[in-house]
Structure 1
Amino acid sequence: MAHELIYSDATKLAELIRTREVSPVEVVQAHLDRVEAVNLDVNAVVTLAEGALEAAKVAEGAVLSGQDLGLLHGVPFTAKDSIDTAGVLTQRGSPIFKGRLPNADATSVARMKKAGGILLAKTNLPEFSYWIESDNLLSGRSNNPWDLERTPGGSSGGESAAIAAGMSPIGLGTDLAISVRGPAAQTGITSMKATHGRIPMTGIWPRAPHRFWHVGPMARSVRDIALAFSQLAGPDGQDAFATSTVEFDAGIGRQPFRQLRVGWMVGPGFGPVDPEVMATVQAAANALKEIGLFVEHVGIPALERDFALEVFNRLHVMEMKPAFEEATAGRKEDELYKMAKTMLSLPDTSMKDYIEAEQAAERLRDGYADYFSRYDALITHVLPIPAHKHGVEEFTIAGQTVDATYLQGATVPLNVTGLPGVSMRFGTSREGLPINVQVVGKWQAESTILHVASLLESVSSVRSLHPNL
């Protein structure tokens, strides 16, 4: 029974609790036992939330007394350690913030609790949420449950590893350029970066540059992502970007009234892509075509004119560097890890380059708008390669040598433009590692991409696989 509980998705767990087939106490205890069993090797969980079992007992009482229950009633969830949790350490992957104890929940955490979720633990991340590996001086390096010698990604790598390893059914990560979608791809789980502003960033650090940061759900299934999004989205009166009221039905998979039009591409405009990954994207496209969608290979000329990763780099250094300078002011050298040092050493972007990057970002938004005037969704890769070994800083992909930042080539365009994207598994590499695809939609089209993702999930042959820990 314990194995069934730790690998059930959150929707199933909520159903089992609601129908009294299991108690919230059983569910929480099963996940605590799993953390004890595997976290020493994976190092995904950095802090357990005191009071989780007590909260589960209260949740059990609500079930037995027939009270109205939230959609996640009694279900444990985890949160990246950059997301504030009242009375639970939030240390942001840095000795600078060691012992930091917030007095209020981030909006996203508060909304998960309002839906009945029980905070179980905080998960690892890179220093200041800033790198594609989850490693820092305070809580060390997270490992991929599929292969401990490989990374679960960053910056939400601890969250992805915890979910993949059965330590958590659902959780919260943040995304600046890759950080919920890339880790999901490296561990074979599902995640979504919604349209910018859909989910408030209140109570999460850093937020600069505000226009690129997102918070997003990470889970085991598309329906879990839809459920979480239905609870997380909407303004909170504190995040100025979160202005749209969302009317969203958590039920997915319903056939629309017309045939959906879907394009697929792996480039040009994203950088080099491994043939196995390319084949997985094409397989996903073919699967959608076989079940009746209109699908064709496409290109987006704007991505070829302006490489989104370069545009992002020119913009965000100017906008994010001050947050690093403020946080590290007066601190000792040995309190800073490599990414903080790297960011602080980068030269400022010239005003001319900054303005040109702003104009390029506008061209990218226009390019996607043109594409979505003809199509409902876009299928791409998430990462150009499956999960890589720890510490690799240079890769040869399809005969081209690139540095590690190029792993963000297909994800960062959605941060520059603010568009939504779902990362979900659809393949397996020759080495047995997960390969995810990315389902991209137009502005505020989460319902559409979740529907397309659910169709892919329904025909996928890999959805029941778990790492052998």
Structure 2
Amino acid sequence: MKSEILYQDATGLAELIRKREISPVEVMQAHLDRIEAVNPKVNAIVTVADDALKAAKTAEAAVLQGHELGPLHGVPFTVKDSIDTAGVPTQRGSLVFKGRIPDADATSVARIKKAGGILLAKTNLPEFSFSFETDNLLSGRSNNPWDLQRTPGGSSGGESAAIAAGMSPLGLGTDLGNSVRGPAAQTGIVALKATHGRVPMTGIWPRAPRRFWHVGPMARSIRDLALAFSQLSGPDGLDAFATSAVPFDAGMGRSPHRQLRVGWMVGPGFGPVDSEVAATVQAAAQALQDVGCLVEPVRIPALERDFANDVFNRLHVMEMKREFAEATAGRSHDELYRTTQRMLTRPDVSMQDYIDAELAVERLRDGYAEFFAKYDALITQVLPIPAHKHGVDALTINGQTVEVSYIRSAAVPLNVTGLPGISMRFGTSEEGLPINVQIVGSWQAESTILHLATMLESISPVRHLHPDV
């Protein structure tokens, strides 16, 4: 029974709890036991909530007493350690914030709790959420449960590793350049970066550059993403970017009344891509065609004119550098992880380069708008390669060596434009590593991409695969 609990999705656990087939206490204890058994190897969990089991007992009493239950009643969830949790340390992967305990939950945490979710634990991240690898001086390095010598990604790498290893059924991560979608791809789980502003960032640090930051659900099924998003979305009156009140229906699996048009591409505009990854994207496109979508290869000229990764690099440095400098004022460099040190010493971007990059963002948005005038969705890679080894500063992809930031080349366009995207597994490399694809929709079109992801999930060749850790 314990193994069935550990790899059941959050929606399924909530249904079983509601039917009284399992209790919230059983579910919570199974995950606490799993953390004790597996986390020493994976190092995804940094803090277990002291009252997790007590909260599960309260949830069990509510079931037995016939109370009205939320859609996630009794289900444990984990939270990246940059997201505030009331009474539970939120240390941002840094010695600078060691021992910091917030007074209030982030809006996203509060909303999952309101739906009945129970905070289980906080998960590891790079210092200040700023790296492609989850490592820091406070809680150390997280490992990929598919291969402990590889990274689970960054910056939500602890979250992705915890879910993949059966330590959590549902989590919250943040995404600035690829940080829920990339780690999901490296560990074979699913993640949603919704349209910018759909989910408030209140209670999350750093905030700069806030126009690119997102918070989103990470899970092991598409229906979990839909359910979590239905609870997370909407204004909170505090985050000025979170103004969209467009309704979202978690029952998005209903078929549209017309044939969906889907484009697919692996480039140009994204840099080099591994042949196995490219083949997986094409396989996903073919699968959608086989189930009735109109699918064809496409190009988006705006991506070829303005390389989004370079645009992003010019824009985020100035704002993040200032935020980091303020947070670390008076602290020794020895207390800061190397990625933070690098950021603080990076040269400033000239005003002309900054303005040119902002204009490039407008061109990219226009380019995607032109694409979505003809198509309902776009299928691409999430990352150009499967999970890489720890500690790399450069990647060799199809014989071409590029800096490690190229890993986000297909993901970061959605951050600078604010478009929604889903990361989901659809393949496996020759080395046995997960390969995810990315489903991109137009602004506010989460229902469309969740519907397409549900279709892909139902015919996926890699359903129900879990790491042996």
TM class by shorter-chain length? Answer: over 0.9
Deviation at 1:393, TM superposition (A): 1.3
Deviation at 1:246, TM superposition (A): 3.4
Q: Which structure 1 segments of 5+ residues have no match?
A: none
1:71 corresponding residue in structure 2 = 71
Deviation at 1:21, TM superposition (A): 0.1
CA distance in 2, matches of 1:9, 1:252: 17
Question: Structure 2 matches for 1:133-282, cutoff 5 A?
Answer: 133-282=133-282
Deviation at 1:333, TM superposition (A): 1.6
Q: Calculate the TM-score normalised by the size of structure 1.
A: 1.00
Residue aligned with 1:218, SS:
strand
Q: Does 2:46 align with 1:46?
A: yes
CA distance in 2, matches of 1:155, 1:208: 15
CA distance in 2, matches of 1:196, 1:49: 30
Deviation at 1:387, TM superposition (A): 0.4
1:302 corresponding residue in structure 2 = 302
Give aligned-pair identity as a percent. Answer: 77
2:81 corresponding residue in structure 1 = 81
Residue aligned with 1:396, SS:
strand
Residue aligned with 2:5, SS:
helix
Residue aligned with 1:36, SS:
helix
CA distance in 2, matches of 1:400, 1:29: 48
Deviation at 1:373, TM superposition (A): 0.2
2:405 corresponding residue in structure 1 = 405
Deviation at 1:398, TM superposition (A): 1.5
Quick check: 1:233–1:246 contact (8 Å CA) kept in 2?
no
Quick check: 1:84–1:203 contact (8 Å CA) kept in 2?
yes
Say which is worse superposed, 375-384 or 388-397, in terms of deviation: 388-397
Deviation at 1:399, TM superposition (A): 2.0
CA distance in 2, matches of 1:396, 1:164: 26
1:11 corresponding residue in structure 2 = 11
Deviations along 1:82-115, whole A, 9 cap, x unmatched? Answer: 0000000000000000000000000000000000
Residue aligned with 1:378, SS:
strand
Matched AA of 2:462: V
Q: Does 2:384 align with 1:384?
A: yes
1:110 corresponding residue in structure 2 = 110
Quick check: 1:192–1:217 contact (8 Å CA) kept in 2?
yes
CA distance in 1, matches of 2:112, 2:246: 16
1:364 corresponding residue in structure 2 = 364
Residue aligned with 2:191, SS:
strand
Q: Quick one: structure 1 residues 32 and 246, their matched pair in 2 at CA, closer, same or farther if it must change by over 3 Å? A: farther
Deviation at 1:321, TM superposition (A): 1.1
CA distance in 1, matches of 2:390, 2:396: 15
Say which is worse superposed, 41-50 or 251-260, in terms of deviation: 251-260
Residue aligned with 2:192, SS:
strand
CA distance in 2, matches of 1:368, 1:319: 25
Matched AA of 1:375: Y
Matched AA of 2:81: D
1:417 corresponding residue in structure 2 = 417
Matched AA of 1:179: S
Deviation at 1:252, TM superposition (A): 2.9
CA distance in 2, matches of 1:251, 1:165: 28
CA distance in 1, matches of 2:423, 2:30: 27
CA distance in 2, matches of 1:336, 1:122: 21
Residue aligned with 2:22, SS:
coil
Deviations along 1:108-154, whole A, 9 cap, x unmatched? Answer: 00000000000000000000000110000000000000000000000
Deviations along 1:268-310, whole A, 9 cap, x unmatched? Answer: 0001000000000000000000000000000000000000000
1:55 corresponding residue in structure 2 = 55
Quick check: 1:86–1:104 contact (8 Å CA) kept in 2?
yes
Residue aligned with 1:171, SS:
strand
Matched AA of 1:182: G
CA distance in 1, matches of 2:71, 2:381: 31
Quick check: 1:190–1:425 contact (8 Å CA) kept in 2?
yes
Deviation at 1:209, TM superposition (A): 0.5
Question: Structure 2 matches for 1:306-317, cutoff 5 A?
Answer: 306-317=306-317
Residue aligned with 2:79, SS:
strand
Quick check: 1:107–1:236 contact (8 Å CA) kept in 2?
yes
Deviation at 1:453, TM superposition (A): 0.6
CA distance in 1, matches of 2:386, 2:413: 20
Deviations along 1:56-84, whole A, 9 cap, x unmatched? Answer: 11111111111111000000000000000
Q: Which structure 2 segments of 5+ residues have no match?
A: none
Deviation at 1:396, TM superposition (A): 1.3
Residue aligned with 1:207, SS:
coil
Q: Calculate the TM-score normalised by the size of structure 2.
A: 1.00
Residue aligned with 1:395, SS:
strand
2:130 corresponding residue in structure 1 = 130
CA distance in 1, matches of 2:351, 2:231: 41
Deviation at 1:253, TM superposition (A): 2.2
Deviation at 1:16, TM superposition (A): 0.3
2:100 corresponding residue in structure 1 = 100
Matched AA of 2:20: R
Matched AA of 1:167: M
CA distance in 2, matches of 1:52, 1:333: 36
CA distance in 2, matches of 1:250, 1:259: 21
CA distance in 1, matches of 2:382, 2:315: 22
Deviations along 1:398-456, whole A, 9 cap, x unmatched? Answer: 22110100001000000000000000000000000000000000001000000011110
2:90 corresponding residue in structure 1 = 90
1:34 corresponding residue in structure 2 = 34
